[in-house]
Amino acid sequence: MVTADDPEMHSSQNEQDNRNYALAAKVPMLEPSEPQEVKEFMRIAYELSEELDTPVMMRMTTRVSHVKGVVTPDERREGPVERKIEKVPSKLVMLPAMAKTRRVYVEERMIKCCEIAETAPYNRIERGDNSKGFITGGVSYLYVKEAFPEASVLKLGMCWPLPENLIREFAASVDTLYVVEELDPFIETQLKAMGIKCIGKEVIPNQGELNTDIVRRAIDPTATKELFAAPKLPNRPPNMCAGCPHRGIFFNLSRMNVFVSGDIGCYTLGFLPPLSAMDACVCMGASVSMAHGMQKALEGAHNKIVSVIGDSTFVHTGINGLINTVYNNSASTLIILDNRITAMTGQQPNPASGSNIKGEAANALDFVALCKAVGVKHVFEVNPHDVVNTRQVLKDAIELEEMSVVISKAPCVLLPEMKRKKKIPLFTVRENCVGCTSCIRLGCPAISWTSFKDADEAEARGYKRKQKGFSSINEDHCLGCGQCASLCKFNAITKREE
């Protein structure tokens, strides 16, 4: 079982340390430092799993997962496993009688695993100068090796269970013992329980990721250097693509007095200005269940709760929330952003896409039929690029006293078939633009604003003196989705002739 922690929360909402699961579940956990070890440890994990009849966990972190490095392949060996069903109810049917026997085995297994850990080559001492000794593992080992290349190191390739005798031997051989690990004091707590004196989270941060510089300065506060300071620059947050169908929905939500319960995907970007149309977002599927709970709690006080979820997230964990909402007679509005793909993680097909991961044709889940089947009486479909019509449909759906679902149907612009499509970009008819900024407020990366220095410049350029500036469309970026054109009341945005 591979688990990846995200210290620093580069793309996560929490920094949980998954080593705690290995402790809680009483299963061994390996922790590789770099790509070559990931490959080697995977083989070791399977061997351990077979030898001890146990699941084995492998802890990855961001800087192990998102790293490329040199890997030397071994010769491929086909395993001897025959494909067949073996019935072992004493192991696979966990009723109390069988579970009680297995419970004893789990403890025996951990004792065996501790013995293995004491002599396994992946738990090794790299002997150096013994004035400082480091116990570390995972990516932290790499930072220790760079910051203190001369020091003695006990590298733990298995972070659970721990080799107590090896640790005691190492601890006794060094003057000052440091434990360097990302996030929780996991190894450190065990050492302290063994009564071994060590320095850990007193100096090493328990939040964020580590690096060579942090490790060096934590242990040697004099190792500072002067750095150039970055100037104050405009932020560059990610943005929905030009032509993204989600924009049409969030633009409308930003203009309505509703609470928007959001979810995980590209559309979480609807939170950012200028749209600023998301009020809550936790984890996959939570949009629907949070909206249900809020609607119940606020009954009679504020019924304008809207949840927004993408097609793949809806399939993943939104459907159960919707069933629960209808069953408990709640009345929020759910918007399913159906762009036919799992866009954010790199265009993986999902059960609504009509194809599988191999690119073969597959059943495309019918959302309208599904919503009706779970008991939603009011299901609407809209084209989000028609911003004005979408607003009317959303208003109608939100005003209903019963649960409603609005399915926003328009494909992701990053889909290969959309990329292949001929683009007919829009452009601004400068003389018609009155500078109302309606289109600017969409936050489309293809639309930009040019300010006039003063009224004289506006006049010189042929505009009214009171006009502050004009908008223009970058035709290299515009895909011609037409959202801005549907908002412009002055015919200042139009398509080029084909």
Site residues for other proteins per CB under 8 A: 10-11, 34, 62-63, 66-70, 139, 142-143, 145-146, 211-213, 225-231, 233-241, 266, 269, 272-274, 344-345, 440, 443, 445, 447-451, 469, 476
Q: Which two tokens stand for residue 335?
A: 């918007």
Nearer to other proteins, 228 or 360 (CB): 228
Q: What three-state secondary structure class fits 380?
A: strand
Phi, psi of 462 (to 5 degrees): 90, 15
- The smaller minimum CB distance to other proteins, of residues 259 and 452, is found at 452
Minimal distance, residue 169 CB to other proteins, in Å:
25
Q: Shortest distance, CB of residue 423 to other proteins, whole angstroms?
A: 14
CB of 328 to other proteins, least distance (A): 34
Cβ-proximal residues to 330 (8 Å cutoff; 6+ apart), any chain: 291, 292, 295, 296, 403
Q: Which is nearer to other proteins, 449 or 490 (CB)?
A: 449
For other proteins, the closer CB: 233 or 361: 233
E strand or H helix that includes residue 90: helix 89-92
Query: Which residue, 35 or 375, is less far from other proteins as judged by CB?
Result: 35
Alpha carbon distance, N-terminus to C-terminus of the chain: 54
Instruction: Return the number of the residue (269 or 371) whose C-beta is nearest other proteins.
Output: 269
Query: Based on CB atoms, which residue is closest to other proteins, 327 or 449?
Result: 449
Q: What is the DSSP string of 262-306?
A: --SSGGGGGGSTTT----B--STTHHHHHHHHHHHHTTTT---EE
CB 346 within 8 A of CB 355: no
The Cα 2–Cα 6 span in angstroms is 13
The answer to whether 133 and 177 are in contact (CB under 8 A) is yes
Q: What element of type H or E holds 333? A: strand 333-338
> Cβ of residue 451: shortest distance to other proteins, in angstroms?
5
How far apart CA 460 and CA 412 sit, in angstroms, is 42
